A and B are shown apart, each in its own frame.
Chain A
Amino acid sequence: MQVIRDDGSLDPELDPGLSVDEVVALYKAMVRTRIVDDRLERTQRQGRIAFHVGSLGEEAAIVGAAAALRERDWIVPCYREVGALLWRGYPLQRYVDHMYGNAGDPVRGRQMPDHTFSPAHRYLAVSAPIGTQIPQAVGLAMAAKKRDLDECVAVFFGDGATSSNDFHAAMNFAGVFQPPVLFLCRNNGYAISLPVERQTASRTMAEKAAAYRVPAARVDGNDALAVLGAVREGVQRAANGGGPTFVELLTYRLGGHSTSDDPRIYRSEQEVDAWRKTDPILRLRKHIEQRKIWNDDLDSDWRTVCDLEVKDCVQRAEQKPAPELSEVFTDVYAEQPWHLREQQAQSLGGPRAGADEDES
């Protein structure tokens, strides 16, 4: 399913009817996500942060989906969805502080970069093991249903995750218990190096949903308005007590899996170039330009604003000290038990490793 036509006009049958402000806000959020991404990738390349997992080329699938949700709906991320968290107003400084693992990092330097979370933004915590968040999202939605709350839960995962046992357990539970959950499968073509054709013999990800009798849609994941429309339909279904929805978002990971990856080993430049032409940001820009609500000046102004913002955040993050060492020993349990008090004292009173040699 596509909504934005090649000339930038919208398919009138499928037009989700966004106002000028709404569609511009969506576009701006996608651009901001990409600029943040780009800056963090460069920061990693300079050795100033350890790692980054970006969303280059997948901004429509991420931000477009978030834009379809209501404020009270939950987002259960995979790990590439910080654009959805930023869409919800998560402070950029907090995110960049997290990327640096500094004293401003909400998780106190305990996690690799890009392991974000925020109860205030109804955004659960990123976890690296693949697929584990999917049954959790189903449980969250079951809780919302049991408590009679008009909320739904959108869970992101990739094509690779559809091979995990967690995925199948979650889909089966959703089919049986009918909670208000949206399964958002970003089919970006690759699970690190493995192309989707070798990941599964299924022709589509959406057909996996059929086995569990979960209604499924398959949309152009690089078309922000198609994503928004399909997710909105899922929200409607859930809100009307219709239970789960599966949406396959067909997109392409233009970058590596993460900054630790080298995609040249497993795919050709020609393949990537072909997908660059379907860039979701260019697609939406074409639409808003065609609507005469956007132009080159506005575009370059906005990019400058975003760039300055993220540069400023990076600069501030670099000034912040490391979190306290004692924070390694807290939040394991609600109350710190004796053995952790003991180990904390041993660590704080013991010799220091100091910085890695290659860091200094």
Chain B
Amino acid sequence: MTEMNLVQAINSALRAALREDENVLLMGEDIGTLGGVFRVTQGLRDEFGPDRVLDTPLSETGILGAAIGMALHGLRPVSEIQFADFIYPGFDQLVSEAAKYRYRTAGEFHVPMVVRTPYGGGIRGGQYHSQSPEALFIHTPGLKVVCPSNPYDAKGLLLEAIGDEDPVLFFEPKRVYRAVKMDVPETTYRVPLGEAKVVRPGAQVTCLAWGAMLYEAFAAAEEVAKEGVDVEVIDLRTLWPLDIETITSSVKKTGRIVIVHEAPRTCGFGGELVALITERAFLHLEAPPVRVTGWDTPFPLTHEREYLPLAHRIAPALLETARY
């Protein structure tokens, strides 16, 4: 065990994958010599060489298109899109191509590839370095979407994603890249996709969160505990395919649900979660489901702390829901 932050844990996962499977290859903008703008891939080009850790030209279309071709021919490419905000030039390759390749060839071809990308706000990045576009990809049949919140899960989920036979988008919460530290095994281990985790058991309100907002949900839960409200916080970890069982059984127990995400509210993943929960646990609900989310605006700079669904907004929502 070594104490690692998220950056170090992801680096450790990539190193392990490169060591264990010669078909694993990393590519992206500035990931080689520089080690990535967040230094997630630091040292990997030195250890594995420029043929396995590729500094690519500046084209998300090129990166993701080439990754598909590589995945079709036996490699397991792990691409980095420098910021989730920059993924859109490659959107067609992900949505029309990677996501559909298995379906449109009835399983005769498939593209096992991982796309890592730092997402989310709170780093004073303004509207082009703060976005959370996960819902666009959850909405796309054929893609899996993962979003770890902590170093242990990040390493285990990333190794699982690299071994997965389907294309996986791996959203990294850059706001907590270096803020969260925990003991992480040096060895290889996997955290299965599709399993949420109850990180704080509670009886009165279920609070769903992922990535960086998990910590805000947790802080808010601790705060309302002082007022006697007992909140169960669930870290989704894999956004799609979703662990519906864990969520449904929690809501059946608490009867109350608060969902937190950074992305704009309208057509955000929270809306889908509310629908799924309502369909499955309607008669258990004691209060209307509540979403605490980013506003339906582009991501602002100066007032980013008011845009983000931080604990100061989550705590009142938890109290109101508990007392409804």
Contact B66 A142 (CB under 8 A): yes
- Collect the chain B residues with CB atoms within 8 Å of residue A147's CB: 73-75
**Nearest CB on A from B152, distance (A):** 24
Cβ contact of A169, chosen from B62, B74, B77, cutoff 8 A: B62
- Collect the chain B residues with CB atoms within 8 Å of residue A334's CB: 102, 107, 110, 164-166
Minimal Cβ-Cβ distance residue in B for A108: B106
Q: A206 vs B159: C-alpha distance in the bound complex, in angstroms? A: 43
Contact A143 B73 (CB under 8 A): yes
Q: A111 vs B106: C-alpha distance in the bound complex, in angstroms? A: 10
Contact A173 B96 (CB under 8 A): no
Contact flags (1/0) for A323-355 with B, using CB distance below 8 Å?
000010011111001110000000000000000
Mark the stretch among B53-61, B211-219, B252-260, B308-316 that contacts chain A. Answer: B53-61
B288 at the interface (CB under 8 A from A): no
**Nearest CB on B from A54, distance (A):** 21
Q: A85 vs B75: C-alpha distance in the bound complex, in angstroms? A: 24
A146 at the interface (CB under 8 A from B): yes
Q: A165 vs B62: C-alpha distance in the bound complex, in angstroms? A: 9
- Collect the chain B residues with CB atoms within 8 Å of residue A142's CB: 66, 69-70
Contact flags (1/0) for B16-58 with A, using CB distance below 8 Å?
0000000001000000000000000000000000010010110
CB-CB under 8 A for A139 and B166, given A132-B92, A338-B244: no
Contact B61 A165 (CB under 8 A): yes
Contact A166 B106 (CB under 8 A): no
Contact flags (1/0) for B138-167 with A, using CB distance below 8 Å?
000110100000000000000000001110
- Per DSSP, chain B at the interface is mixed
Kindly identify, within residues 144 to 203 of chain B, every residue whose CB is under 8 Å from any CB belonging to chain A.
Answer: 144, 164-166, 194
CB-CB under 8 A for A166 and B69, given A110-B106, A135-B93: no
B307 at the interface (CB under 8 A from A): no
A60 at the interface (CB under 8 A from B): no
Kindly identify, within residues 17 to 34 of chain A, every residue whose CB is under 8 Å from any CB belonging to chain B.
Answer: none
In this complex, which of A132, A169, A327 has the most chain B Cβ atoms within 10 angstroms of its Cβ?
A169
- Collect the chain B residues with CB atoms within 8 Å of residue A107's CB: 104-106
B68 at the interface (CB under 8 A from A): yes
Q: A153 vs B29: C-alpha distance in the bound complex, in angstroms? A: 25
Contact flags (1/0) for A114-147 with B, using CB distance below 8 Å?
0101110000110101001011111111111011
CB-CB under 8 A for A119 and B108, given A139-B68, A146-B51: yes
Q: A338 vs B276: C-alpha distance in the bound complex, in angstroms? A: 12
In this complex, which of A106, A146, A327 has the most chain B Cβ atoms within 10 angstroms of its Cβ?
A146
Contact B61 A337 (CB under 8 A): no
Q: A160 vs B62: C-alpha distance in the bound complex, in angstroms? A: 18
Kindly identify, within residues 293 to 342 of chain A, every residue whose CB is under 8 Å from any CB belonging to chain B.
Answer: 327, 330-334, 337-339
- Collect the chain A residues with CB atoms within 8 Å of residue B65's CB: 132, 134-136, 138-139, 166, 169-170
Q: A142 vs B50: C-alpha distance in the bound complex, in angstroms? A: 13
A-B CB contacts (within 8 Å), total count: 147
Which of the four size classes fits the interface of chain A?
35 or more
CB-CB under 8 A for A331 and B93, given A165-B61, A337-B241: no
B205 at the interface (CB under 8 A from A): no
Interface residue count for B (Cβ, 8 Å)? 46
Minimal Cβ-Cβ distance residue in A for B95: A129
CB-CB under 8 A for A129 and B144, given A107-B106, A138-B69, A339-B241: no
B72 at the interface (CB under 8 A from A): yes
Contact A172 B66 (CB under 8 A): no
- Collect the chain A residues with CB atoms within 8 Å of residue B97's CB: 127, 129, 132, 136
In this complex, which of B51, B92, B109 has the most chain A Cβ atoms within 10 angstroms of its Cβ?
B92
- Collect the chain A residues with CB atoms within 8 Å of residue B73's CB: 74, 139-140, 143-144, 147
In this complex, which of A111, A132, A143 has the most chain B Cβ atoms within 10 angstroms of its Cβ?
A143
Cβ contact of B109, chosen from A108, A119, A144, cutoff 8 A: A119
Q: What 8 A-B pairs have minimum CB-CB distances, sorted nearest first?
A: A139-B69, A135-B65, A139-B66, A169-B62, A140-B69, A337-B241, A143-B73, A136-B69
Binding site for B on A (CB under 8 A): 74, 106-108, 110-111, 115, 117-119, 124-125, 127, 129, 132, 134-144, 146-147, 153, 165-166, 169-170, 172-173, 176-177, 327, 330-334, 337-339
